[in-house]
Amino acid sequence: MIVLDTHALLWWALEPERLSNKAREVTAEMERRGGFVSAISIWEIAIKVKRGKLELPLSAEQLTQRLERSAVVQIVPVDAGTWLRSVALPWEHNDPADRVIVATALNQGVPLLTKDACIQSSGEVTCIW
């Protein structure tokens, strides 16, 4: 099992050709065994769509509904424990969404599928790309 970073979620769902070979292997396994996505990724996608920084062939609401119906990925709520763990990370990165996604992977005890070099180099979580 894995947690998908926001871009990995979008690419898996809409543009799988953008995934690395390893990421395609891991997402194929995820499709059999299941995976996770932080609810903050849904928020990130909706904000980017609203600000015109991301165009999707469907609304953020429709994407979320499809994810929920697929049962491939579980959308993990951001609870108080996740927020506190994200703040406690000894990492100077200030992006709250990235911090929450890392905390989600740590809380679930699984690697994070991400191309984000800042997250990969942090050493805070096992990353796959």
DSSP string spanning 2-66? -EE-HHHHHHHHH-GGGS-HHHHHHHHHHHHH-EEEEHHHHHHHHHHHHTTS---SS-HHHHHHH
Domain encompassing residue 66: 3-128
For residue 23, the domain's CATH number is 3.40.50.1010
Domain count for the chain, please give it: 1
Tens-digit pLDDT profile for residues 25-73: 999 999 999 999 999 999 999 999 999 999 999 999 999 999 999 889 9
Q: What is the pLDDT of residue 71?
A: 87
Q: What is the pLDDT of residue 44?
A: 97
Tens-digit pLDDT profile for residues 64-97: 999 999 889 999 999 999 999 999 999 888 899 9
Tens-digit pLDDT profile for residues 102-120: 999 999 999 999 999 999 9
pLDDT band at 17; cut points 50, 70, 90: very high
Q: What is the pLDDT of residue 92?
A: 87
Between CA 22 and CA 113, with CA 27 as vertex, the angle to 5 degrees is 70
Q: What is the pLDDT of residue 31?
A: 96
Q: What is the pLDDT of residue 64?
A: 95
